[in-house]
Amino acid sequence: MMSDATPEVLTRAATVTLREITKETLRPVLHLNVAENQKNFVATNAQSIAEAYFSRENAWFRAVFADETPVGFLMLYDEPAEPVYFLWRFMIDARYQGFGFGKRAIALLVAHVKTRPHATELGVSCVPGDGSPCPFYEKLGFVYTGEKHDNELILKLKL
């Protein structure tokens, strides 16, 4: 059984996978947290999972694992009738940032989205500012569209 008290020592070489959240992995996933200066940019995993259950037909969510350790969470808005899929939530725990796990998790997500009907783009939104994930997404090839939703910039990646 996984312990969220003593995480295994991970290196950049760890294998990154996206896995369904189970009753065994739920608690460790709920205990993942972004850095303090990032907390205003993403909802907690508990809130995201609750929203996913109430949006069951459109929410596809997974824990991000590095080897056997949960290190993050992502949630996709999956609407097969539309050509643009949307990264609804994404986070990597502060302890595991800088290992390349986020970049590899997004690559796995992109590979998944490419298998979905009609998929031509993956969108994401982010609020600019200190701790914002906008630069991270731009480094991965997402481009600001000029659109905004509330205070969030809309970025898209052509598939």
SS3 for the chain, per residue?
A: CCCCCCCCCCCCCCCEEEECCCCCCHHHHHCCCCCHHHCCCCCCHHHHHHHHHHCCCCEEEEEEEECCEEEEEEEEECCCCCCEEEEEEEEECHHHCCCCHHHHHHHHHHHHHHCCCCCCEEEEEECCCCCCCHHHHHHCCCEEEEEEECCEEEEEEEC
Average pLDDT for residues 124-130, to the nearest whole number?
91
So what's the pLDDT on residue 3?
46
pLDDT band at 7 (very low <50, low <70, confident <90, very high): low
Average pLDDT for residues 39-62, to the nearest whole number?
93
Homologous superfamily of the 16-158 domain (CATH): Gcn5-related N-acetyltransferase (GNAT) (3.40.630.30)
So what's the pLDDT on residue 9?
86
So what's the pLDDT on residue 123?
97
